[in-house]
Amino acid sequence: MNTVEILANAEGHESFPLVIPAIAFAIIAAGFFTFLGLVTYSYKDVAARHRQKWSDASDHAAHH
Protein backbone atom coordinates (compact mmCIF):
# COMPACT_ATOMS: atom_id res chain seq x y z
CA MET A 1 0.00 0.00 0.00
CA ASN A 2 1.17 3.49 -0.71
CA THR A 3 0.99 6.49 1.60
CA VAL A 4 -2.26 7.84 0.17
CA GLU A 5 -4.08 4.54 0.73
CA ILE A 6 -2.74 4.30 4.28
CA LEU A 7 -3.88 7.84 5.10
CA ALA A 8 -7.29 7.26 3.49
CA ASN A 9 -7.82 4.09 5.50
CA ALA A 10 -6.59 5.72 8.71
CA GLU A 11 -9.09 8.57 8.43
CA GLY A 12 -12.01 6.23 7.86
CA HIS A 13 -12.60 7.67 4.39
CA GLU A 14 -16.13 7.07 3.17
CA SER A 15 -16.96 7.04 -0.50
CA PHE A 16 -20.27 8.48 -1.61
CA PRO A 17 -22.01 7.37 -4.79
CA LEU A 18 -22.40 9.91 -7.57
CA VAL A 19 -25.82 11.43 -8.17
CA ILE A 20 -25.58 10.58 -11.88
CA PRO A 21 -23.24 8.20 -13.71
CA ALA A 22 -19.77 9.55 -14.47
CA ILE A 23 -20.34 9.43 -18.25
CA ALA A 24 -23.31 11.78 -17.80
CA PHE A 25 -20.98 14.49 -16.49
CA ALA A 26 -18.92 14.20 -19.68
CA ILE A 27 -22.02 14.34 -21.88
CA ILE A 28 -23.32 17.42 -20.06
CA ALA A 29 -19.93 19.15 -20.37
CA ALA A 30 -19.69 18.30 -24.08
CA GLY A 31 -23.19 19.65 -24.66
CA PHE A 32 -22.40 22.84 -22.76
CA PHE A 33 -19.19 23.48 -24.72
CA THR A 34 -21.00 22.73 -27.99
CA PHE A 35 -23.62 25.31 -27.04
CA LEU A 36 -20.90 27.86 -26.26
CA GLY A 37 -19.25 27.10 -29.60
CA LEU A 38 -22.51 27.71 -31.45
CA VAL A 39 -23.01 31.02 -29.65
CA THR A 40 -19.45 32.06 -30.56
CA TYR A 41 -19.96 30.95 -34.18
CA SER A 42 -23.14 33.02 -34.44
CA TYR A 43 -21.11 36.19 -33.81
CA LYS A 44 -18.42 35.42 -36.41
CA ASP A 45 -19.44 38.08 -38.97
CA VAL A 46 -20.82 40.77 -36.68
CA ALA A 47 -17.63 42.87 -36.75
CA ALA A 48 -17.53 42.85 -40.55
CA ARG A 49 -21.16 43.97 -40.79
CA HIS A 50 -20.62 46.78 -38.32
CA ARG A 51 -17.39 47.86 -40.01
CA GLN A 52 -19.26 48.36 -43.29
CA LYS A 53 -22.07 50.26 -41.57
CA TRP A 54 -19.63 52.62 -39.86
CA SER A 55 -17.48 53.12 -42.96
CA ASP A 56 -20.59 54.06 -45.00
CA ALA A 57 -21.56 56.60 -42.35
CA SER A 58 -18.08 58.11 -42.23
CA ASP A 59 -17.91 58.30 -46.05
CA HIS A 60 -21.30 59.99 -46.11
CA ALA A 61 -20.20 62.57 -43.55
CA ALA A 62 -17.06 63.31 -45.55
CA HIS A 63 -19.11 64.29 -48.62
CA HIS A 64 -20.88 67.16 -46.85
Residue 1 confidence (pLDDT) above 80: no
39/10: higher pLDDT: 39
**What per-residue confidence (pLDDT) applies to 11?**
62
Neighbouring CB atoms inside 10 A of 8's CB total 13
7-37, pLDDT tens digit by residue?
A: 766 666 667 788 999 999 999 999 999 999 9
What's the CA gap between 54 and 60, in Å, rounded? Answer: 10
Alpha-carbon span 34 to 49, nearest angstrom: 25
- What total of structural domains would you count in the chain? 1
Domain that holds residue 32: 3-62
Query: What is the distance between the terminal CA atoms of the chain, rounded to a whole angstrom?
Result: 85
Measured CA to CA in angstroms, residue 35 lies from 20, 44, 46, 59, 63 at distances of 21, 15, 18, 38, 45
User: What pLDDT does 48 receive?
Assistant: 73
